[in-house]
Structure 1
Amino acid sequence: MKLIRYGEAGKEKPGIVDTKGAYRDLSKHINDVAGATLGADSLSALQQLDIDSLPEIPADVRLGPCVGNVGKFICIGLNYEDHARETSADIPQEPIIFMKATSAISGPNDPIIRPKNSTKLDWEVELAIVIGESISYADEAQAEKAIAGYCICNDISEREFQLERGGQWDKGKGCDSFGPLGPWLVTKEEIKDVLNLDMTLQVNGKQYQNGSTRTMIFPPAYVVSYISQFMSLQPGDVISTGTPPGVGLGMKPPVWLQPGDNVELQITGLGQQRQVVKDYQETL
């Protein structure tokens, strides 16, 4: 299944994509694509619905983040060997964990807002995991069962804030609009091989990232299991699993996003995001 959330920001309703790609409303069946509705029993019940008989939603509706009420927004750094090398970083021996603020979450096609005093705004196409069951101290088999599905995340980063302002990475990762999720939450049975997904990102029509989950160092089930050794995970938590090479920081010289830039990213089977960069003053 491909689940969506649609409508005005902060007031999104649940929906689903039918076999022809049209959007259908799920409001009479679930309150939101969030929390308990992501459990195995709830998803199984949705699979039994006659999707094509549900009310159709206009194709031009705004899509919100594909998961609502996210409790934790967790990220894995340097999880692609070729990306670690392009940034002159050591290959990690264990997953690097950091957090993005949940207030950074936005819709897949909402604007990227360049923060005040930003000078080094960057992009990162990433595969994100959506948790469907509560787990703690899980082994990999338990972790796999706890995964509800996957979506695209653009892990927007402000590199000066992240790398040159002291402390940990969070300052450069949690600004408003720095976590577009969607367009769809694709339940895991639709993804036949999560370690064989092509990932691309373009800026103003020029392709910068052209990678694959094949080069991921720590695969999804391992990542979920590993994180659960340090914190419990609940339904609706999101884990973004790292980016392949081709980020602006890795260019020679570096390339940074500017107001007016158009960003397009996609992952096989998970859809496409499109964003326009706006300066924070344009949103005041």
Structure 2
Amino acid sequence: MRLRRGATGIDVLHEPTGSWIDLKAAGGESLPVSVVEFLGLGERARDTARELVDRAVTAGTATATTFSPLPFEPRSLRCFAGWDTHWHQAAESMVRRNLPAVLPLAKTYKAIMRKPFPPLRPGSAVFEHPIYYTGNHLSVVGDGAPMLWPGYTELLDFELEYGALVVRPVRDASPAEAEAAIGGFVVFNDFSARDVQWDEQRNGPFGPVVKTKTFGSSMSAEVVTADEVLPHLGNLRGSVTVNGEVWTQTSTEGGRWSVADGLAYASRAEDIGPGELLTSGTLPSGCGMELDRWIQPGDVVRLEIERIGSVTNTVAQRG
């Protein structure tokens, strides 16, 4: 089921006709008006919504037109590192740009040892448990909003990710319990200031995720319910299009940890509740740094993941 935040509450997509239906106007006054609360009710609420939407389409009533580009306001943002391939490719590109003299050594090591040059590999913790940083949930914008260009960076980048929405409280959850607490998915763009990232990674005590990341990110206007996505989450196609040109095509295959593993780890001795958002990390070849292609002011950037949807933002002028 595909949902968005409408004028009076929740809009539901009637997929056979492509019509968006205002759930409240269709007779769903007893259902929550919040996407997060609705998803927290699970299958029972979805079944009721389907019946109401089918009826409304048959009667030709309750069609919705206006909606919010942001389907919900995240209560927190935990950003995971999901794919080793992205890490290795991004690290190599960062070194190529900033320390080109090291690259021949890294390539020789890789050719002989059949594995990445040690300084280009993540720390050992990534092999032991999911890793994440806490982002700025207050700077997430919706589909169609400008992609902010902070005045302190010359290298703005996009990152193709998905976000998993928590809809039930968990603490010390098993992976199965964590998976049951995930109610929906969005497409997520984790904007990044790459020149700042290089400086923070080498010189900052808290690593490359401070001003590199916290200024802005975006998500799709639509939320797809977890039952539609989870069975396919390890095999979804993704793409990035800039000004109508496909820059990259990739997939969700090959992730080291599942989203349920990530939520279970995050919930160790910690309460996590409805409305909190977990992001997947960048899909392999899902950012400009890996491609060595860089967006510019005025570019229209569209990120898409099969079954989940898309988010499009126009790059703003440098701040």
**TM-score range normalised by the length of the shorter chain:** 0.7 to 0.9
Q: Which amino acid aligns with 1:84?
A: W
| Deviation digits for residues 52-97 of structure 1 (CA, Å, limit 9, x no counterpart) | 4162122xx454222x2321111002x2121111023415313221
Q: Which amino acid aligns with 1:173?
A: K
Distance 1:174 1:207, change over 3 A: same
Q: Does residue 1:51 correspond to 2:53, yes or no?
A: yes
- For residues 257 and 230 of structure 1, the distance between their equivalents in structure 2, rounded to whole angstroms, comes to 41
Q: Which residue number in structure 2 is paired with residue 113 of structure 1? A: 148
Q: 1:64 aligns with which of 49, 69, 83?
A: 69
Look up the SS of the partner of 2:284 in the other structure: coil
Q: Does residue 1:90 correspond to 2:132, yes or no?
A: no
Q: 2:255 aligns with which of 203, 209, 216?
A: 216
| Deviation digits for residues 195-222 of structure 1 (CA, Å, limit 9, x no counterpart) | 1111111222333332211121111111
Q: Does residue 1:193 correspond to 2:228, yes or no?
A: no
Q: Which amino acid aligns with 2:308?
A: L
Q: How far did residue 250 of structure 1 move?
A: 2.0
Q: Which deviates more from structure 2 when the two are superposed, residues 16-25 or residues 213-222?
A: 16-25
CA contact (8 A) 1:65 1:107 kept: yes
- For residues 147 and 133 of structure 2, the distance between their equivalents in structure 1, rounded to whole angstroms, comes to 21
CA contact (8 A) 2:39 2:225 kept: no
Q: How many residues align?
A: 267
Q: Which residue number in structure 2 is paired with residue 26 of structure 1? A: 23
Q: How far did residue 180 of structure 1 move?
A: 1.4
Distance 1:154 1:219, change over 3 A: same
Q: Which amino acid aligns with 1:16?
A: V
Q: Which amino acid aligns with 1:65?
A: L
| Deviation digits for residues 93-149 of structure 1 (CA, Å, limit 9, x no counterpart) | 132211221122111222211112221111111121111110011111111111112
Alignment of 1:87-236 (within 5 A): 87-88=90-91, 89-91=120-122, 92-93=126-127, 94-165=129-200, 166=204, 167-168=206-207, 169-175=209-215, 178-191=216-229, 192-229=231-268, 231-236=270-275
Look up the SS of the partner of 2:263 in the other structure: helix
Q: 1:75 aligns with which of 76, 79, 89?
A: 79
Q: Which amino acid aligns with 1:70?
A: P
Q: How far did residue 230 of structure 1 move?
A: 5.3
Unaligned runs of 5+ in 1: none
| Deviation digits for residues 228-260 of structure 1 (CA, Å, limit 9, x no counterpart) | 115321011110011123222223xx3332110
Distance 1:225 1:30, change over 3 A: same
Task: Tell which structure's C-alpha radius of gyration is larger.
Answer: 2
Question: Identity percentage over the alignment?
Answer: 25
- For residues 175 and 166 of structure 2, the distance between their equivalents in structure 1, rounded to whole angstroms, comes to 14
Look up the SS of the partner of 2:169 in the other structure: coil
Q: Which residue number in structure 2 is paired with residue 277 of structure 1? A: 315
- For residues 62 and 162 of structure 1, the distance between their equivalents in structure 2, rounded to whole angstroms, comes to 35
Output the TM-score relative to the length of structure 1.
Answer: 0.86
Look up the SS of the partner of 1:257 in the other structure: coil
CA contact (8 A) 2:238 2:249 kept: yes
- For residues 212 and 123 of structure 1, the distance between their equivalents in structure 2, rounded to whole angstroms, comes to 16
Look up the SS of the partner of 2:78 in the other structure: strand
Look up the SS of the partner of 1:215 in the other structure: coil
Q: More helix per residue: 1 or 2? A: 2
Look up the SS of the partner of 2:249 in the other structure: strand
CA contact (8 A) 1:63 1:109 kept: no
RMSD: 2.1
- For residues 211 and 130 of structure 2, the distance between their equivalents in structure 1, rounded to whole angstroms, comes to 20
- For residues 211 and 62 of structure 2, the distance between their equivalents in structure 1, rounded to whole angstroms, comes to 42
